[in-house]
Amino acid sequence: MRKITIKFVGTGYYDINQARVKIYNSNCKKVYDQCTYNGRCRVCLEDNSIYTIKASTKYSKICIKIYINKDVRSIVIPFYSCDYKSNYKTFQLTDLNYSGLKIEKGVLYLWPR
């Protein structure tokens, strides 16, 4: 095991410096669960292993798999490859003042499906 630096980079996310990072080994056991400091974190990982990194901020999240070999000292992860489809919200709309309208209820999708 040795210390590896993980750095998150991206554009348009002001809260990327405070991302919540969870790292799981190949047996789905959590090996790291902390917030980043200035977009970076240092973690001890074993050589020749596969890890899943899940990072989330207030507005986005990513989930990637990485392979650690003996040459890896640092990892740079682009945060602009986030999953927007999981961020859609559904609102139920009703009109209490005008009951005669043909559209009394509706669903507003802020993100395309």
Overall domain count for the chain? 1
Alpha-carbon distance 103 to 100, whole Å?
A: 9
Q: If pLDDT is split at 50, 70 and 90, which confidence band does 88 have?
A: low
Task: Look up the domain containing 33 and give its range.
Answer: 2-83
Looking at residue 74, which CATH number applies to its domain? Answer: 2.60.40.10
Tell me if 31 is assigned to some domain. yes
Pairing mode, strands 40-45 and 2-9:
antiparallel
Averaged pLDDT, 54-83: 81
Tell me if 112 is assigned to some domain. no
Tell me if 93 is assigned to some domain. no
pTM: 0.65
> What one-letter code names the amino acid at 58?
K
Name the residue among 14, 58, 10, 52 with its Cα closest to residue 33.
52
Question: For 10-41, what is each residue's pLDDT tens digit?
Answer: 755 555 677 889 999 999 999 999 988 888 89
Tell me if 44 is assigned to some domain. yes
Tell me if 102 is assigned to some domain. no
Tell me if 103 is assigned to some domain. no
Residue 67, classed as helix, strand or coil, is: strand
